[in-house]
């Protein structure tokens, strides 16, 4: 839009682009009625010519761009002032919109997202504590119907590191683990392993280590981790699948 070539003294408009391009008016030109302002009586011909808000916004943007281009091609004091006047009007409307937006949020708590995910420090701590409790209850409940199939190799250094995390997860949430070794070699945290009986090929396990949640009653399988994954990442993955209703 050539905006990068405007004199740096006018950078305020571009620095505040988050506000600038959301709302437009036009001056001079079609006038947007202010709240509470009486609508003048229109005859049938005027009513047919009355423009929608969308049309007014489109015209405003076109006019703003026209003034910017004019000022860039011919940077006279008059052209720059003409563009700056409209830019000031645009910023004023954006500010009024922002203020009214917050007023509506304050008057309608159901629209306030911070009540769901608070940003206040103390409230944030409470929120995170409750989220942790919810995660603990949910994943523990899943252990009643699901277990873990842990695919690894005894010669894989990442598998040895991940085994410690898998063991901690199983102890924390009460999940049973079926350790399946590709090469038949055990891990320190899982000395009693099952040799591969063709499951690696059947499930197309290509990454080691890999971890799957399995419902032995239904045969339902969900991937939980590929590669060396943290406990937090495993919890987040499971909770995401819960929200997506992937568990049966």
Expressed as residue numbers, the domain containing 94 is 3-110
For residues 150 and 105, membership in a common domain is answered with no
Looking at residue 229, which CATH number applies to its domain?
Answer: 3.40.30.10
pTM above 0.75, yes or no: no
Burial (CB < 10 A; 0-12, 13-18, 19+), residue 35, is exposed
| Same-domain status, 125 and 231 | yes
Domains: count for the chain: 2
**Residue pLDDT, tens place only, 212-227:** 999 988 889 999 999 9
Whether residue 52 is found in the same domain as residue 162: no
Residue 68 has pLDDT above 50, yes or no: yes
Sign of the torsion angle spanned by Cα atoms 203, 189, 162, 147: positive
Q: Is residue 7 scored above 60 in pLDDT?
A: no
Q: What phi and psi values does residue 117 have, to the nearest 5 degrees?
A: -125, 85
Same domain flag for 93 and 130? no
Q: What is the side-by-side order of every strand in the sheet holding 177-181? A: 194-195, 177-181, 147-152, 210-214, 221-226
The pLDDT value given to residue 171: 94
The pLDDT, as a whole number, for residue 112 is 79
The CA distance from 72 to 87, in Å, is: 14
Count of residues in the chain:
248
């Amino acid at each position: 839009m050539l905006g990068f070539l405007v004199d740096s003294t006018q950078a305020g408009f571009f620095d505040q682009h988050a506000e600038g391009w959301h709302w437009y008016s036009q001056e001079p030109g079609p006038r947007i009625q202010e709240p509470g302002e009486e609508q003048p009586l229109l005859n049938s011909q005027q009513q047919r010519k009355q423009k929608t808000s969308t049309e007014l916004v489109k015209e405003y943007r076109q006019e703003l761009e026209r003034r910017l281009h004019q000022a860039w091609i011919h940077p006279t004091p008059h052209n720059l002032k003409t563009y700056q006047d409209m830019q000031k009007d645009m910023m004023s409307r954006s500010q009024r919109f922002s203020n009214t937006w917050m007023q509506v949020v304050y008057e309608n708590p159901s629209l306030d997202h911070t009540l769901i995910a608070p940003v206040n420090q103390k409230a944030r701590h409470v929120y995170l504590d409750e989220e942790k409790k919810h995660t603990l209850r949910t994943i523990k409940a899943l252990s009643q119907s699901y277990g873990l199939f842990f695919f690894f190799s005894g010669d894989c250094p990442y598998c040895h590191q991940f085994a410690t995390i898998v063991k901690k997860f199983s102890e924390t949430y009460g999940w049973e683990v079926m350790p399946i070794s590709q090469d038949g070699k055990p891990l320190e945290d899982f000395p009693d392993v099952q040799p591969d009986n063709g499951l690696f090929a059947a499930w197309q396990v290509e990454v080691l280590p890999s971890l799957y949640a399995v419902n032995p009653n239904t045969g339902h399988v969900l991937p939980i981790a590929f590669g060396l994954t943290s406990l937090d990442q495993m919890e987040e993955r499971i909770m995401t699948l819960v929200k997506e209703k992937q568990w049966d």
